[in-house]
Amino acid sequence: GAGVSQTPSNKVTEKGKYVELRCDPISGHTALYWYRQSLGQGPEFLIYFQGTGAADDSGLPNDRFFAVRPEGSVSTLKIQRTERGDSAVYLCASSPRTGLLSGANVLTFGAGSRLTVL
Amino acid sequence: AQSVAQPEDQVNVAEGNPLTVKCTYSVSGNPYLFWYVQYPNRGLQFLLKYITGDNLVKGSYGFEAEFNKSQTSFHLKKPSALVSDSALYFCAVRDSGSGNTGKLIFGQGTTLQVKP
Instruction: Give me the DSSP letters along A48-100.
Output: EEETTEEEE-TT--STTEEEE-TTSS-EEEEE-S--GGG-EEEEEEEESPTT-
What is the identity of the amino acid at B25? Answer: Y
Closest-CA distance of chain B to residue A82, Å:
24
| A56 closest CB neighbour out of B90, B98, B106 | B98
The answer to whether A104 contacts B100, with C-beta atoms less than 8 Å apart, is yes
Yes or no: say if A78 and A19 are a contact pair by the CB < 8 Å rule: yes
The reported pLDDT for the residue numbered A109 is 95
Using the predicted structure, report yes or no on whether residue A101 has a pLDDT greater than 70.
Answer: no
| Residues of chain A numbered 36-75 and touching chain B (CB < 8 Å) | 40-45, 48, 55-56
User: What is the pLDDT averaged over residues B19-44?
Assistant: 92
Name, in order, each residue with C-beta under 8 angstroms of B116's C-beta and a sequence gap of 6 or more.
B14, B15, B83
CA angle (A45, A51, A52) in 5-degree steps? 90
User: What is the pLDDT averaged over residues A91-95?
Assistant: 95
User: What is the pLDDT averaged over residues B73-80?
Assistant: 98
The reported pLDDT for the residue numbered A28 is 87
| Residues of chain B numbered 72-91 and touching chain A (CB < 8 Å) | 90
The reported pLDDT for the residue numbered A104 is 53
Backbone dihedral angles phi then psi of residue A38, each to the nearest 5 degrees = -85, 160
Percent of chain A with pLDDT over 90: 79
Does the beta carbon of B42 lie under 8 angstroms from any beta carbon of chain A? yes
The reported pLDDT for the residue numbered A81 is 98
User: What is the pLDDT averaged over residues A26-34?
Assistant: 92
| A98 closest CB neighbour out of B4, B41, B100 | B100
The answer to whether A109 contacts B43, with C-beta atoms less than 8 Å apart, is yes
The CB density around residue A16, as the number of other CB atoms within 10 Å, is 10
Cα nearest neighbour of B10 on chain A: A40
A65 pLDDT band, cuts 50/70/90, is very high
Using the predicted structure, report yes or no on whether residue A58 has a pLDDT greater than 90.
Answer: yes
For residue A49, the Cα-to-chain-centroid distance in whole angstroms is 10
| B102 closest CB neighbour out of A41, A93, A101 | A93
| pLDDT, chain B, mean | 93
The reported pLDDT for the residue numbered B25 is 96
Higher pLDDT, B31 or A103: B31
Using the predicted structure, report yes or no on whether residue B97 has a pLDDT greater than 80.
Answer: no
For residue A37, the Cα-to-chain-centroid distance in whole angstroms is 11
| B100 closest CB neighbour out of A3, A101, A107 | A101
Using the predicted structure, report yes or no on whether residue A99 has a pLDDT greater than 70.
Answer: no
- Model confidence over B61-71: pLDDT tens digits? 999 999 999 99
The reported pLDDT for the residue numbered B51 is 87
Using the predicted structure, report yes or no on whether residue B100 has a pLDDT greater than 90.
Answer: no
